[in-house]
Homo-oligomer: A and B are copies of this chain.
């Protein structure tokens, strides 16, 4: 069976995502579309608006054949680590083509990735404390490979290409043109809005009829929504009571930010106000939001390392075609394939320990068990 894979967040799933899945299937002439999707937390450092089961269900109804969870340890990371987690998971699923939407489908991503790999991407280029990492990375890219574009999906495509290059057996890259609107742009074009616009409409209880597949309108209306507003009291509590040494154990903590965070939290009444307080030239909002989320979830560097050392494929759901594919490959996969989640997987030393830690908060808020005993959607 010809497979194509995509890495996604579906936060939430909308018309543009349905188009992208259809494009991937068509261009790859694929029988099976495999998606690795962020679990309950997303790369911009916040909970997804709907839980992973809701988002997986929407995807399975609109073009995905298998949805596998991208664990929080890979999902809440800068682009390169996010890409690596997604790409390695797709490869572990036996996928042979990696499709992604981009502003620049004409670019030779694999070639660029090779150029970047041979260039010295060491820490030396990143010592300017008055600029963000992203800005400095762009400069290094420009020098090494003449890259001057910084469109977000193009940049993410480069991260995919770099991660793919590092695989023993790299997948075929299949960049295709995104339709409609930019990543975080506001507005609607040809029935396609950015996910952030869809979230904004949903949060304001405005109709999303024009921008999500019809059947999802009512489905979304019934679902529990998640946002930083629910998590912020926990962040504040944690920053007010944690020892500095404990905060230093959190993944992606950078020297000095533990002081800044603990000193600025007392007066902050919400996440927006807090982020404004801690913002500096050195760090982007996304970086700071991810760190704040890692603190809230107590996602330690150790937990991230453990997850990397014991990777697994947690299947959230599949179509009949997806099931057929899983049955044909399940004995040949490099990573354990998890369907029904048992207590030992969630235990402190289990393969889903960090996922469970993060998802218990979702269950506390929404009342829907996220892991224990749950079987894949069919």
Choice from B241, B246, B300, B364 contacting A360 with Cβ under 8 Å: B241
| A266 in the interface (beta carbon within 8 A) | yes
| Stretch of A8-16, A144-152, A213-221, A231-239 with 4 or more beta carbons under 8 angstroms from chain B | A231-239
Residue of B nearest to A233 (CB): B233
Known: A233-B233, A246-B246. A240 touches B360 (CB 8 A): yes
| A357 in the interface (beta carbon within 8 A) | yes
In whole angstroms, how far apart are the Cα atoms of A241 and B231 in the complex? 13
Which residues 226-254 of A sit at the B interface, judged by CB distance below 8 A?
Answer: 233-234, 236-238, 240-244, 246
Interface size on A, residues (CB 8 A): 22
Task: Assess the A364–B246 pair: CB atoms within 8 A.
Answer: no
In whole angstroms, how far apart are the Cα atoms of A1 and B246 in the complex? 48
Task: Assess the A237–B240 pair: CB atoms within 8 A.
Answer: no
Residues on B with beta carbons closer than 8 Å to the beta carbon of A361: 237, 240-241
Choice from B234, B244, B357, B360 contacting A348 with Cβ under 8 Å: B244
Task: Assess the A363–B266 pair: CB atoms within 8 A.
Answer: yes
Q: Which of A240, A242, A297, A363 has the most CB of B within 10 A?
A: A240
| A298 in the interface (beta carbon within 8 A) | yes
Residue of B nearest to A353 (CB): B243
Residues on B with beta carbons closer than 8 Å to the beta carbon of A297: 241
Task: Assess the A364–B240 pair: CB atoms within 8 A.
Answer: yes
Residues on B with beta carbons closer than 8 Å to the beta carbon of A360: 240-241, 266
Nearest Cβ in chain B — how far from A60, in angstroms? Answer: 28
Residues on B with beta carbons closer than 8 Å to the beta carbon of A357: 240-241
Number of this chain's copies in the complex: 2
Task: Assess the A237–B236 pair: CB atoms within 8 A.
Answer: no
Task: Assess the B240–A348 pair: CB atoms within 8 A.
Answer: no
Residues on B with beta carbons closer than 8 Å to the beta carbon of A300: 243
Q: Which of A237, A246, A300 has the most CB of B within 10 A?
A: A237
Which residues 300-328 of A sit at the B interface, judged by CB distance below 8 A?
Answer: 300
Render A314-356 as a binary contact track against B, CB cut-off 8 A, 1 for contact: 0000000000000000000000000000000000100000000
In whole angstroms, how far apart are the Cα atoms of A365 and B234 in the complex? 13
Nearest Cβ in chain B — how far from A352, in angstroms? Answer: 14
Task: Assess the A236–B364 pair: CB atoms within 8 A.
Answer: yes
Residues on B with beta carbons closer than 8 Å to the beta carbon of A237: 234, 237-238, 361, 364
Residues on B with beta carbons closer than 8 Å to the beta carbon of A364: 236-237, 240, 266
Residues on B with beta carbons closer than 8 Å to the beta carbon of A266: 360, 363-364
Task: Assess the A348–B241 pair: CB atoms within 8 A.
Answer: no
Residues on B with beta carbons closer than 8 Å to the beta carbon of A241: 296-298, 357, 360-361
Can you identify 19 A-B contacts, CB atoms within 8 angstroms? A234-B237, A236-B364, A237-B237, A238-B238, A240-B357, A240-B360, A240-B364, A241-B296, A241-B297, A241-B357, A241-B360, A241-B361, A242-B298, A243-B300, A243-B348, A244-B348, A246-B246, A266-B360, A266-B364
Which residues of chain A have a CB within 8 Å of any CB of chain B? 233-234, 236-238, 240-244, 246, 266, 296-298, 300, 348, 357, 360-361, 363-364
15 other contacts beyond A234-B234, A237-B238, with CB at 8 A cut-off? A234-B237, A237-B237, A237-B361, A240-B357, A240-B360, A241-B297, A241-B298, A241-B357, A241-B361, A242-B298, A243-B298, A243-B300, A243-B348, A246-B246, A266-B364
